[in-house]
Structure 1
Amino acid sequence: MDSNMISEENLEEFTVIWLDSKSYSIDTKARLRCIINFLKVFNNVDDCFNYISSVKSEKVFLITSGLLNETIVSLVHDLPQLRFIYIFCQQKGKYELCSKRYIKIHGIFDDQEALYLMLTQDVKICSNTTSISFFNKNEKSLRHLNGTFYWYQLLRKTLLHMPQTHNAKQDLIDIGRKHYADNDKELMIINDFNEKYKKNEAIRWYTRDSCLYRLLNKAFRTENIDLIFKFRFFIIDLHKQLQNLYKNYIELLRSYDLD
């Protein structure tokens, strides 16, 4: 198995897996990581199956060679963490029947550019349907939910009362550069954020299609306190900017009432 990852913890929502008994190119790695940063590469079915089975909080996009697809697809197809399967091969017609038997197979490709395009489109669709959740879906009891809710209220108040320091921003920059090492696309965004970020632009940065949005959403959904703490200065700026927008909105409504 070749993991090809500097950070073994996936801080985002998605994982892309490349399964092929043959080697793959550096360019393939770079292109895939521009779409989904966390890439795992396997050259045998058993290791690939074991890894996908172990994934708990991410959605998996599996790219497999035609040679290995029939074995791996039957093993992993019904796993809830598996989102889509893509077959990359030289003979598309040879695997058409397989694609009709399994609904998660989202295409058979003999052209890498077409594969990258489909993967990009699917990731965007899945990103739009993934929302922040402050509660773990496995928590069923009302007592647990109430406890989690009050805990997050305490966390919010604690973060808002923490002093804004240069170290707070640097903590976020450092973890971003570590997690996205060798990912030129995301490193450019992180460097841009480091140089140009202003407190009154937090919403603009959050709504931008970048690692900031994905990391923060994952941190809250999985209740990753360490990562939430890394975002402390950004969360404070977001909170204050949203408060100001709400205040301006209320004042605007009152002005209409007076008229």
Structure 2
Amino acid sequence: MDKQKPTKTAASETAAMTTTINCGAVLPRPVRRILQNFLLVWLDANLQESDNDFKNSLHHLRKIVASVTTFTNAQQCVNFLSEIKKEKVFMIVSGSLGRQIVPEIEAWPQLEAIYVFCGNQSVHEQWAKKISKIKGVYTKIEPICQALEIDRQRCDQAMIPISFNGLDPLFMYTQLLKEALLEIEDDDKKSIKDLTDYCREQDDISEDQIKLVEREYRAHTPIWWYTAETFIYPMLNRGLREMDVNIILKMGFFIRHLHQHITELHGEQKGSMPTNFQVFRGQGLSMEDFEKMKKTKGGLMSFNNFLSTSRNREISFKNFARPAALNTNSVGILFIMNIDTAICSKSSTPFAE
């Protein structure tokens, strides 16, 4: 993948607004489907599509969040944000327009994080430090990309689908789909082509990432793809979270490959695993899900996806649970899971390190 650094640039500072939505090629098409759980909105009155610095910055931002929509008009941007219900939004905003609109929208639950991009850092830090969702005030695009990468990972971790009752329809549908997908035998080459063609049709995944899958899918293990910084994990997470049958079917071959890989590793590792051990998972939960979880005390919880955990409590706590607690729309949670291999050996769900 291209490792070129983003071009340095600074957002212009002006309170003037135009009536143009400056979205260019990244403006969502009417028939386009969202394939990931998040999108990036960039608001600046002086954005110019023809500017090379803007083009380079946009190119590198799309490697982190494929769906990017740019605005030069604050009200049109606010209207766009107000219509988003199922996705999380990361927002880059110029200092002057940020000071104007951020206080009005900061409490919106769909707004995950804000990055102020300006030419005078000291001026805008004064008002920005009062707003918890603002991750920082920046004069260059590189640190925004770095912060966005970390926040995107945390967002993905927090949006894994969870059922808080064993009879929840989502739980049952997920189990039935999983069993059906694991039984299917098809042509992997055709399945990869179907997936990449589908991604191109929706225009929600960067072309670089699609080409990477086409070129190198067989060169890496399924677990590598699941944990790599590509669209695979976010898209799978989205499909299972929304029970989007189109996404699930397109990714069925990968679900099968990943399950088989974990099963193989489990067989290799089970002889050396301790009988009992703990793993940890830190993440954010929405207020709604947190209330559901409190009512499920003593009951059954199900993570309706492949679940990543850590043996290291501090990593799970500091990197995921604690940062989630700083978001006013979520609760930071540290799950502590006690694994009894004697019980797990009777389950059809494999696990591995």
TM-score above 0.5, yes or no: yes
Q: Aligned pair 1:66/2:95, yes or no?
A: yes
Please report how far the alpha carbon of residue 55 of structure 1 lies from its aligned counterpart in structure 2 after TM superposition: 1.6
Residue pair 1:176, 1:190 contacting (<8 A) in 2 also? no
Letter in 2 for 1:87: V
In the alignment, the residues of structure 2 paired with residue 245 and residue 143 of structure 1 have an alpha-carbon distance, to the nearest angstrom, of 28
Please state which structure has a larger fraction of its residues in helix. 1
Residue pair 2:194, 2:250 contacting (<8 A) in 1 also? yes
Q: Aligned pair 1:133/2:161, yes or no?
A: yes
Residue pair 1:59, 1:82 contacting (<8 A) in 2 also? yes
In the alignment, the residues of structure 1 paired with residue 182 and residue 152 of structure 2 have an alpha-carbon distance, to the nearest angstrom, of 33
Spell out structure 1 runs of 4+ moving beyond 6 A: none
Q: Aligned pair 1:23/2:53, yes or no?
A: no
Matches within 5 A, 1:70-219: 70-127=99-156, 129-130=157-158, 132-133=160-161, 135=163, 145=168, 147-165=169-187, 166-179=189-202, 183-194=206-217, 196-197=218-219, 201-219=221-239
Letter in 1 for 2:43: L
Structure 1 residues 252 and 67: CA distance shift in structure 2, 3 A: closer
Q: Aligned pair 1:220/2:248, yes or no?
A: no
2:36 maps to which of 3, 8, 12: 12
| Secondary structure of the corresponding residue to residue 237 of structure 1 | helix
Q: Output the TM-score relative to the length of structure 1.
A: 0.82
1:232 maps to which of 232, 248, 252: 252
Structure 1 residues 96 and 241: CA distance shift in structure 2, 3 A: closer
| Secondary structure of the corresponding residue to residue 67 of structure 1 | helix
Letter in 1 for 2:259: H
Residue pair 1:202, 1:238 contacting (<8 A) in 2 also? yes
Please state which structure has a larger fraction of its residues in strand. 2
Q: Output the TM-score relative to the length of structure 2.
A: 0.62
Letter in 1 for 2:58: K
Please report how far the alpha carbon of residue 169 of structure 1 lies from its aligned counterpart in structure 2 after TM superposition: 2.6
Structure 1 residues 94 and 131: CA distance shift in structure 2, 3 A: closer
Structure 1 residues 104 and 211: CA distance shift in structure 2, 3 A: same
Q: More displaced, 11-20 or 92-101?
A: 92-101
Residue pair 1:12, 1:218 contacting (<8 A) in 2 also? yes
In the alignment, the residues of structure 1 paired with residue 110 and residue 233 of structure 2 have an alpha-carbon distance, to the nearest angstrom, of 21
Letter in 2 for 1:114: P
RMSD of aligned residue pairs (Cα, Å): 2.7
Identity %: 27
Please report how far the alpha carbon of residue 126 of structure 1 lies from its aligned counterpart in structure 2 after TM superposition: 3.4
